[in-house]
């Protein structure tokens, strides 16, 4: 990484902004990362420390599995003695990647197209929650609130459509 910020890539600028350069390689982030307990395919390469190492060595991050594996739970950031803000870095790189057209790693709202979470995480939640997970992951929080609001409005008294009552002349039969 250079001292001249103008010549740095956007990822290098984000690395400096979120403190990746201050990492002291203590490994607290790796040992506390909940991904190790959640995902069977967790490894050092997708851990916070593994991702930081590759970023500092100048490797491409957009398609890096670690960027898309991270749960953004903030456990690593809370424990980091150097103050590295890994979750914020991951969020920023994901959004940078999505703006660049790299969408194959993300799950997006079926209604508005907003990024929700990594596909890896959504697959795990769907397996864990079953059909409820499918419904939960399909919409972003804003669209979920909107859909709930529409449902609730339809249930309000006076908002439901009541079929018209038949008039007297429809039920009395032919007139005499």
Q: What is the pLDDT of residue 1?
A: 47
Domain map (residue ranges) of the chain: 1-102, 105-156
140 vs 171, more confident: 140
What pTM does this model have? 0.77
> Pick from 88, 78, 101, 99: which is nearest to 52 by CA?
88
CA 7/CA 114 separation, integer angstroms: 31
Q: What is the pLDDT of residue 64?
A: 84
For 2-12, the pLDDT digits (tens) are: 456 668 899 99
Q: What is the pLDDT of residue 176?
A: 46
Give yes or no for a contact between 67 and 89, defined as CB atoms under 8 angstroms apart.
no
φ/ψ of residue 106, rounded to 5: -105, 160
CA 162/CA 164 separation, integer angstroms: 6
CATH hierarchy code of domain 1-102:
1.10.1060.10
DSSP code per residue over 148-162:
HHHHHHHHSTTTS--
How large is the average pLDDT for residues 64-81?
92
The rounded mean pLDDT for the chain is 85
Residue where the block lists tokens 């209604």: 111
């Amino acid at each position: 990484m250079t001292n001249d910020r103008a010549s740095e890539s956007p990822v290098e600028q984000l690395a400096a902004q979120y403190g990746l350069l201050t990492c002291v390689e203590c490994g607290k982030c790796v040992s506390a990362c909940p991904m190790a307990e959640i995902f069977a395919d967790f490894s050092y390469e997708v851990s916070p420390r593994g991702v930081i190492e590759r970023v500092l060595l100048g490797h491409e991050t957009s398609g890096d599995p670690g960027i898309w594996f991270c749960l953004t739970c903030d456990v690593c950031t809370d424990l980091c003695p150097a103050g590295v803000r890994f979750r914020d870095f991951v969020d920023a790189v994901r959004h940078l990647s999505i703006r660049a057209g790299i969408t194959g790693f993300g799950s997006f709202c079926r209604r508005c197209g907003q990024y929700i979470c990594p596909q890896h995480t959504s697959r795990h939640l769907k397996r864990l929650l079953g059909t409820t997970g499918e419904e939960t992951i399909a919409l972003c929080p804003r669209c979920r609130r909107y859909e709930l609001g529409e449902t609730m409005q339809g249930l309000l008294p006076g908002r439901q459509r009541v079929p018209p009552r038949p008039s007297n002349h429809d039920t009395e039969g032919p007139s005499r």
